[in-house]
A and B are shown apart, each in its own frame.
Chain A
Amino acid sequence: MNRKKRSVSIVNGRIIDPANAVDRVTDLHIAGGKILCLGEAPADFQPYQTIDASDQVVCPGLIDLCANLREPGAEHKATIASETAAAASGGITTICCSPDTYPVIDTPAVVGQIRHKARKARFSRLLPLGALTQALEGERLSEMAALKTAGCIAVTNAYTPLANTLVQRRAMEYASTFDLLTIIRPEDRHLCNNGCAHEGKLADRMGLPGIPEAAETVAVARDLALAETTGAVIHFHALSSASAARTIAWAKREGRRVSADVAIHQLHLTELDMEGFDSNFHLRPPLRTDGDRDGLRDAVAKDVIQAICSDHQPHEADAKSSPFPDTEPGISGLETLLPLALKLVEQGVTDLSGVIARLTCGPADILGLPLGRLTPNHAADICIFDPRQHWRVTKEKLRSAGKNTPFVGWEMPGRVTHTLLKGRVVYAEQ
């Protein structure tokens, strides 16, 4: 693709760029894959393509802090090609991919392989997260310096949080030596005790082994203390409890360098949805109470939680075709991320600009990357969507290889019409 082809004018759209406090109807011009300017184009600018964005919102491409693409190792669930295509159709241009692949992302070779596949697929900017410990086993540190050189943007132990507090401390310290952000799924493994649902009213009645709220709050408190001791910068990923959000709000008031995100489904679903044992509601962390959902919404509104992610976990049908506790947890969520976030606007949780910030500059700032904004000379990653168009979720409409979503049948606001990566249209609605 030559430079000329990546020169585009997007006209008459409502440009929302929270990082630059822009929200107005105007034109956006892209030259050579980078943002040229807003408003009137220079006299000599000749776009290769003009997109009419009348009645549509034009915003930075979405940044998803955590998605499982399943490649390498679980290609029967999904591939980098299938999932980045799905992401593009959902307006997502940057994806952080979880290290729990097979082999684990703990060597530069695996990082190289993933980045190569992503470049070939050409749909998204893929940012691999490196393993915090070798093989995610929680014992020996991974070669973080080498991982960073190879392109890892942060390190995490993904779904197997460290049980050993000393290793956790050392890992945070070592990561901070190289200015690598440590991403933590806060979960105390012993308190989880093979649970599969929030320990509460519903699990009591359904006889499902419970995961107490304390499994999350204990881990958040522990790792905040370790971060204070080590001076490491940490990010809590996929919160599920209002109490953990309150603790993080307190830490931020104290001036700690900590951030947090939440998976979009935690802002819409609760434990009550598990009734009937539908395995699509089997999640980790589990769906908790309506008080937790409301507390998390409040934390999003107050910017305690700066990012909303998909926590995308595509599965093959068999993985969900067993009794509830025996199924694999997770939702296929790339394509419902933006619509469910827009629902928050409809429901008055926050305004449109606020929601877009949590999906663009919010996650970019957590990662310390110059993405998620329409600043001139920055990469032209763009999402254009029609906020008034509603659509109903069906398995057939999903491009992801994973059809495991509890949102089938939901009426969703917002239809993505174009997605641009570095000025190139990687998705256009048919």
Chain B
Amino acid sequence: MSLSNKALQLDEAGRLLHFLTVDGLGREMLTEILDAAEGFTGVSERTIKKVPLCRGKVVANLFFETSTRTRTTFELAAKRLSADVLNLNISASSTSKGETLLDTLRNLEAMHVDMFIARHASSGAAHFIAQHADRGVGVINAGDGRHAHPTQAMLDMFTIRRHKGDFVGLRVAIVGDILHSRVARSQILALNSLGVSEVRVVAPRTLLPSDARSLGVHVYHDMEEGIRDVDVIIMLRLQKERMQGALLPSEHEYFRLFGLTEQRLALADSQAIVMHPGPINRGVEMESQVADGSKSVILQQVSYGIAIRMAVISMVIGAQNLRMQEMAR
């Protein structure tokens, strides 16, 4: 039997070994990550944007799937912690030469890498890497298939906490392609774990998992109903290729039914915030006035992303250092 998410991600002392999924970590650990990120927000505003917490450590960005935003914010986060960073775009190199994921890992381990930050198109890839990596090497999931994108979810939680102060009593609506979204899965787990009062998903049935309610959400197919009185609206990116299957008839109809307009936004709580993991399709998920409007916190999400990733990297590497000290004793 394989390890539970808790046993795989936390050591005996309850410290973070890997960060693969929000599932199984519990409210305390999530809060600890948010608190740690709070401490790192200041670093970006200093003249010397660096702290020496991870000096002498090697962090490898293992991206089997292309990414700009996530990869660069992870890279910045690691560099601000003074780690050495290797960027590997594997889709363009090894796998095309027939090297297996396991071989790629072994080769990097031979270079004494301390941490893998991995993105892969297959659900479960981060678990696989964590289970096959050398003991002592930390793994952070930067997105695996449709499964999880836990640092994105945590930066979203950070954004919400900054604006709303607390999670208790909040109503949050996630709008769009829930079925294919690793971001939505991680957000739902995090929001419920942190104790919001209601998580809603708003989408046509073709973009929802078969048994969406079992994820711990209320399901809406009507945008107006779904966002009424909510405190937070999270719009998901609609991949263009979804239009080619039989999932949706057209971008036009999608925007007409589920697009976020100023008019619809007025149905939400007057203090509501609008989030989006990016990149935005203007005129598909939301109109530009909303994306650039006063309630949009989309760009803050990006800068908070660096703080959250610094928090997670430093917690995993910090725990590695403590375990090494304990072993030396």
Contact = CB atoms under 8 A, between A and B. Distances in A.
B123 interface: yes
Given A207-B145, A277-B128, A201 B214 contact: yes
B148 interface: yes
A199 interface: yes
B114 to A, nearest CB: 22
B173 to A, nearest CB: 19
Interface of A: 199-201, 203-210, 212, 275-278, 318, 321-326, 409
B122 to A, nearest CB: 4
B104 to A, nearest CB: 11
A204 B212 contact: yes
B210 interface: yes
B210 A325 contact: no
Contacts of B132: 321
B231 interface: no
Contact of B123 (A206, A212, A318, A321): A206
B2 to A, nearest CB: 3
Interface in B100-140: 100-102, 120, 122-125, 127-128, 132
Contacts of B148: 207
Given A276-B1, A277-B2, A323 B125 contact: yes
Given A276-B1, A322-B128, 12 more contacts: A201-B214, A204-B209, A204-B214, A207-B144, A207-B148, A209-B123, A277-B124, A323-B124, A323-B127, A323-B145, A324-B124, A324-B128
A325 B123 contact: yes
Interface in B182-199: 182, 185
Nearest to A408: B1
Contact of A325 (B2, B124, B212): B124
The 8 closest A-B pairs by CB, nearest first: A276-B2, A207-B146, A207-B147, A277-B124, A204-B209, A323-B122, A323-B125, A324-B124
A208 B211 contact: no
A275 B3 CA distance: 9
B215 interface: yes
Q: Which of A209, A212, A276, A278 has the most CB of B within 10 A?
A: A276
Contacts of B209: 203-204, 210
A292 to B, nearest CB: 14
Contacts of A322: 100-102, 122, 128
B239 interface: no
Contacts of B123: 206-209, 277, 323-325
Nearest to A325: B122
Q: Which of A205, A208, A275 has the most CB of B within 10 A?
A: A205
A205 B146 contact: no
B122 A324 contact: yes
19 contacts: A200-B211, A201-B211, A204-B209, A204-B211, A204-B215, A209-B123, A212-B210, A276-B3, A276-B8, A277-B2, A278-B1, A321-B102, A322-B122, A322-B128, A323-B122, A323-B127, A323-B128, A325-B122, A409-B1
B96 interface: no
A324 B2 CA distance: 13
A203 B209 CA distance: 9
B244 interface: no
B102 A325 contact: no
B4 interface: yes
Contacts of B182: 207
B146 A209 contact: yes
Contacts of B4: 275-276
Given A321-B102, A323-B101, A206 B124 contact: yes
A205 B101 CA distance: 24
A277 B128 CA distance: 8
A210 B210 contact: yes
A115 B211 CA distance: 48
Nearest to B212: A204
A206 B147 contact: yes
